[in-house]
Amino acid sequence: MGFTVEKSGLLSTIQDSGRTGYRRIGMPVSGAMDDKAFRFANLLVGNNEGDEALEVTLQGPVLHFKSDTVIAISGADLNPSINNEPVPNNKPLLVGKGDVLRFGMAEKGMRAYVAFKGGLKVVKQLGSSSTNTLAKLGGYKGRALKAGDKIALNIEGHKDKQIQWSLSPTLFTYLQKKEVRIIRSRQWDWFTEEAQMHFLSGSFTIKPESDRMGYRLSGPALALKQSQELLTEGIAKGTIQVPASGQPIILMADSQPTGGYPKIANVITADLPIIAQLKPNESLSFKEVTLEEAYEALRETEAEMKMIRAAVRMKNE
């Protein structure tokens, strides 16, 4: 037995790297909203980067462990504690049978990830353990965790030794960033020059109704040069659509595979974790970069991952 959920928290779901290869039949990719923190958490406990972990949103759950294990928490600072003693993010933590993991409210960021050594014992559906609550697919019964749920671990127990190392805080400066880099999308030229200027120089506020499907923004209305019909096109995580209201929507992990609204821009892959960690009513701005700059930012992210993988291997030898 792994752990029992005593309190569910605001939204706690099991996620992995996503359900790829099924967008052609209308299935969202899902997966971790903040892929960076998710991968870090898994690496810290010696897992594969894409293994299932718990995504915790704003207000975390209370978990009662029924067996010894090793966990790591990464991403947002939700003031975690074990047996009411504060524990740090970004460090492997030994957990004993009977221990209780709790979270406070979010101080920095929106989402934290709890990885468990060996991963969680859940059934993969369409090749993934990621929870899609709308499709009622994946994770634990296709839904967010509830009080009373019992989740099993693939590996129980640990070698009882104190763990002294942790990830550098410099890897998580993105938790405090409010500027997001974008590249122009297919319908950029459909928008007026004024709309383009407002998009790149204005400030937008995240609406409370934002969720894992999309972040709805409030700010300067983005007008089209003229009303135009758009055939439904493929979209991706980070696509910024603009409906008739002129208020943009950033599509996220659970978004649909296609959409019919004009697309003004796409958030670059390296900056998607920034979006995932922004809370409702916080503001953000956009900065245009070239495609080469977007690739370079992604190369820098992957270089960080390579460095952490090497460090973890060395620590575990």
Q: What's the whole-model pTM score?
A: 0.95
Per-domain boundaries in the chain: 3-167, 177-297
Picking from 232, 25, 234, 50, the residue whose alpha carbon sits closest to that of residue 135 is 25
From first to last of its 317 residues, the chain has per-residue pLDDT tens of 799 999 999 999 999 999 999 988 889 999 999 999 999 999 999 999 999 999 999 999 999 999 999 999 999 999 999 999 999 999 999 999 999 999 988 888 999 999 999 999 999 999 999 999 999 999 999 999 999 999 999 988 877 676 778 898 999 999 999 999 999 999 999 999 999 999 999 999 999 999 999 999 999 999 999 887 788 888 999 999 999 999 999 999 999 999 889 999 999 999 999 999 999 999 999 999 999 999 999 999 999 999 888 887 777 65
CATH of 177-297, one of 1.10.4160.10, 3.40.50.10310, 3.90.550.10, 2.40.100.10: 2.40.100.10
**Residue 117: Cβ within 10 Å count:** 24
- Residues 2 and 265: their CA atoms lie apart, in Å, by 43
Hunting for tokens 């973890």 — which residue is that?
312
Residue found under tokens 């999308």: 185
User: Which residues make beta-bridge pairs with 34?
Assistant: none
Residues 278, 283: Cα–Cα separation, whole Å: 8
**Residue among 88, 40, 69, 98 nearest 277 (CA):** 40
Angle at 155 between CA 149 and CA 161, to 5 degrees: 115
Alpha helices in 94-202 (DSSP H): 193-201
Q: What six digits make up the tokens of 44?
A: 């810290």
